Structure 1
Amino acid sequence: MEIFYYLLFGGLGAVVAAVELSKNNKDRITTTPAFNSFKNNYLLVYSLMMVVETVDLDCIAEVDGIWCRLGIERTEAGDWLQGPYVYYLYSQYGFGKGEIGQLFIAGFGSSMLFGTIVGSLADKQGRKRACVTYCIAYILSCITKHSPQYKVLMLGRILGGIATSLLFSAFESWLVAEHNKRGFEQQWLSITFSKAIFFGNGLVAIISGLFGNLLVDTFALGPVAPFDAASCFLAIGMAIILSSWTENYGDPSESKDLLTQFRGAAVAIASDEKIALLGAIQSLFEGSMYTFVFLWTPALSPNDEDIPHGFIFATFMLASMMGSSLASRLMARSSLRVESYMQIVFAVSSVSLLLPIVTSFMVAPSKVKGGSISFAGCIQVVGFCAFEGCVGIFWPSIMKMRSQYIPEEARSTIMNFFRIPLNIFVCIVLYNVNAFPITVMFGMCSIFLFVACLLQRRLMVIAEKPKTQDWTSLKEKDTEADPLNI
């Protein structure tokens, strides 16, 4: 079966190369040198941040007798450099899987509790400052990995959760605001979004995994080495931000406290159906994606089959790169709306996650322990690659829709509001990862994605309707309802 992995990896690599090299003028957007310089600066910083993000992507952990992925793939997304060593490091310090599970949950809980606060501070105090704060918080989180003390490690996870909230709100908010402030065309945002996913969530992931393996295995520097390297990359990124980025704000009004800003963001979500639909779609898709990351390993090796986890992971990253490359071509067509093709993406992703259920009925399960991947496993790998391709399309496309529908004044606040149900879901799944059969979990994900497809259809229908209220009118209405600003 080893030839299967090479054929799949080579085939996907060829497709990615073909898609990139076959782009014609219709698939490309003509830009200016000023925009290209701005875009490349952001892509460099974003790639450096994605090398080190803190949600333990590739950490394979033994939980209740099975091997499952404890980590988030993109979207909490990142930790390409150090992810494979987080669980291993904690176990080397002598902690059991129960204590390690609490550390992981603490990171997501921290992101949930503090996310809206740091998002609002980013809108009010400045997005550049928030990006610098992310770098500092995560460097401190990396430093805590040198301590074997459980409380210190817990502090590191909390800092990491706060940093995650900043990464996935402040950076995008800064980009959109700065893009508009410099007078670049709105359509050019899609180029930056798709390239960020292609490089930051694809190519950088593969390279970082190899680099982390080099540090730990080849140079024998120990499992803390990737965290030290992560700190260096963060310091480089922070230096670039400080030296080349300008500050921008959401609503810098001094009279608006955090509570009022939270309420204003909540009113915006409740009063604009497009924003509410966007938040629901994002939560449903990312929740399904996170569950997939937890479960793909046991799904492919139910009888302890010997599967090359790293090679399969690299194949998934190639599939994601293919998706982001396709997304750039789709978004380059002015006649094709994001709201339209995303319905198909959600439908395909829903079907792809049904394959573990389908194969369980159509292919007799093997009772032989060990060995190579089964025929059913091969079918599932192909389906999972299709899902990863959908993930690659999803990220730049959801970024594009967020730039269109979320008001600038509270962009970071609203984006972190979207992450509250997301982090609750992740904590529940982490805590009950073995409470249900794998087929039930995949079936739940498929239903979530089908619902996302229906909601996307609704979003497309109302997307052309004029706004009934803008952010200014919402603020005025909120002030009238509460003139004392209490």
Structure 2
Amino acid sequence: MEVFYYLVFGGLSAIVAVLELSKTVKDRVATSPAFNAFKNNYIVVYSLMMAGDWLQGPYVYYLYSQYGFDKGDIGRLFIAGFGSSMLFGTIVGSLADKQGRKRACITYCMTYILSCITKHSPEYKVLMVGRILGGIATSLLFSSFESWLVAEHNKRGFDPQWLSITFSKAIFLGNGLIAIVSGLFANFVADTLGFGPVAPFDSAACFLAIGMAIILSSWSENFGDPSESKDLMGQFKAAAVAIASDEKIALLGAIQSLFEGSMYTFVFLWTPALSQNDEDIPHGFIFATFMLSSMLGSSIASRLMARSTLKVESYMQLVFAVSAFTLLLPIISTFLLAPSDVKGSSISFGGSIQLLGFCVFEVCVGIFWPSMMKMRSHYIPEEARSTIMNFFRIPLNLFVCIVLYNVNAFPITIMFGMCSIFLFMASVLQRRLMVVADIYKKPQDRAGLKENDAEAEALV
């Protein structure tokens, strides 16, 4: 079955190379030298930030187990990370709108570096502090950098359409190529060089420090609405009112939570799904294949978003529907295909079908990230962008904590079925978002909605 893995990986590599090299004039957007310099600077920083995150992933669980902690102890550490992101991360991330997005990005670097340092201690309490710091950093990573980019892009007067270029390139590199290289590099420093499982965390701290130096030397500060003088509770109230009074924002938050909740659940479930009878599967190679699939998705997204006649709201309905079907494959294969009865054998035929489906799901993930970023740049108000984006992550983190706590309570087919339902719901809500967005474009309806927005703002 090793030939099967190589065929999948080689095929995906060829497709990605062909897509990138065969882009036509329609797929490329004419930009300015100033924008290219700005875009490249952001992509370098974002890639370093993501390297700092990806380097830690392969060895977190292994490091905890090497310190002698069992599955229950490790599970509580992971729950602490997501819980911290939900509670403390929301507060710290929301401060970015008032205190500055550049400061928030620097805070991310410093917080994550401190989290990496705690990995040197075998003490459970110290590791718990590290997970809490890591949860805060995660909220900053997925809100402050995007908020800074959108505000700075608009402040410099660049074409709004060019944002999609930065988004797709950042995801292609940061969530694709960098993830693959980080996994290989982590394995190199930990195992090949023999520095042990703490080495990837030290490497991550170095990359984060380099990125922080670039931010300090080349980024300017930007804020939410400088005319506002709200305290933190006022920001939360304004964000809540914005979500409640604008159906587009509420729909966007629901869609994001449904998709990302299913995605993070998939991260926990793909290994037992492919090795239900302890089949011998190459975890690192499969992870690299998933990341390559995500790169393929971001490459497809860049082509789709380059066409002004094609709406993001339109094609994302299909993306969510396809992703819902792919996570049904473990259920279908369980009922239609006999499982392997040889423990420790190579991946079964049913597992191979699931692997192909999971690769398609990762393609959908690659399309989702830049497309969601573009929709957020359209619909989320600038004055509370970071606060609203962190509000979106509250149900996501709550859902992941519940899944982690009950991961052994339900059969794996039930978990995948639940995720598939969530993704189908996301497709339905995406359809509703497109309808609402089209209505908003009508002058008479837009005027009415603006009156509603004004009334909502008056309540704050």
Letter in 1 for 2:335: F
Distance verdict in 2 for CA 1:103–1:253, change over 3 Å: farther
2:10 is matched with which residue?
A: 10
1:175 is matched with which residue?
A: 149
Q: Which sits farther off after the overlay, 358-367 or 12-21?
A: 358-367
Deviation at 1:115, TM superposition (A): 2.6
Letter in 2 for 1:200: G
Matched, 1:85 2:63: no
Give the alignment of 1:275-314 within 5 angstroms: 275-314=249-288
1:340 is matched with which residue?
A: 314
Task: Report the Cα distance in structure 2 between the residues aligned to 1:222 and 1:452, rounded to whole angstroms.
Answer: 42
Match of 1:146 among 120, 127, 132: 120
Give the alignment of 1:381-420 within 5 angstroms: 381-420=355-394
Task: Report the Cα distance in structure 2 between the residues aligned to 1:254 and 1:481, rounded to whole angstroms.
Answer: 14
Match of 2:130 among 135, 156, 173: 156
Distance verdict in 2 for CA 1:471–1:158, change over 3 Å: farther
Q: State TM-score, norm by structure 1.
A: 0.91
Distance verdict in 2 for CA 1:257–1:360, change over 3 Å: same
Task: Report the Cα distance in structure 2 between the residues aligned to 1:182 and 1:422, rounded to whole angstroms.
Answer: 33
Task: Give the total of aligned pairs.
Answer: 455
2:83 is matched with which residue?
A: 109
Indicate the percent of aligned positions where both proteins have the same amino acid.
79
Task: Report the Cα distance in structure 2 between the residues aligned to 1:138 and 1:346, rounded to whole angstroms.
Answer: 32
Task: Report the Cα distance in structure 2 between the residues aligned to 1:160 and 1:366, rounded to whole angstroms.
Answer: 39
Asked whether the equivalents of residues 45 and 240 of structure 1 are also in contact (C-alpha less than 8 Å), the reply is yes
Structure 1: give runs of 5+ residues left out of the alignment. 54-79
1:216 is matched with which residue?
A: 190
Matched, 1:41 2:15: no
Deviation at 1:435, TM superposition (A): 1.0
Residues 414-452 of structure 1: per-residue CA shift (max 9 Å, x gap): 000000000000001111111111111111111111110
Letter in 2 for 1:8: V
2:443 is matched with which residue?
A: none
Task: Report the Cα distance in structure 1 between the residues aligned to 2:188 and 2:194, rounded to whole angstroms.
Answer: 8
Letter in 2 for 1:26: K
Deviation at 1:481, TM superposition (A): 3.9
Residues 40-81 of structure 1: per-residue CA shift (max 9 Å, x gap): 00000000000112xxxxxxxxxxxxxxxxxxxxxxxxxx21
Residues 144-171 of structure 1: per-residue CA shift (max 9 Å, x gap): 1111211111111111111111111000
Structure having the higher helix fraction is 2
Matched, 1:242 2:216: yes
Matched, 1:134 2:108: yes
1:58 is matched with which residue?
A: none
Task: Report the Cα distance in structure 1 between the residues aligned to 2:181 and 2:459, rounded to whole angstroms.
Answer: 54
1:371 is matched with which residue?
A: 345
Q: Which sits farther off after the overlay, 14-23 or 458-467?
A: 458-467
Letter in 2 for 1:138: Y
Q: State TM-score, norm by structure 2.
A: 0.96
Secondary structure of the 1:465 match is helix
Deviation at 1:101, TM superposition (A): 1.1
Structure 2: give runs of 5+ residues left out of the alignment. 441-445
Asked whether the equivalents of residues 125 and 252 of structure 1 are also in contact (C-alpha less than 8 Å), the reply is no
Secondary structure of the 1:204 match is helix
Distance verdict in 2 for CA 1:469–1:256, change over 3 Å: farther
Asked whether the equivalents of residues 245 and 456 of structure 2 are also in contact (C-alpha less than 8 Å), the reply is no
Asked whether the equivalents of residues 407 and 471 of structure 1 are also in contact (C-alpha less than 8 Å), the reply is no
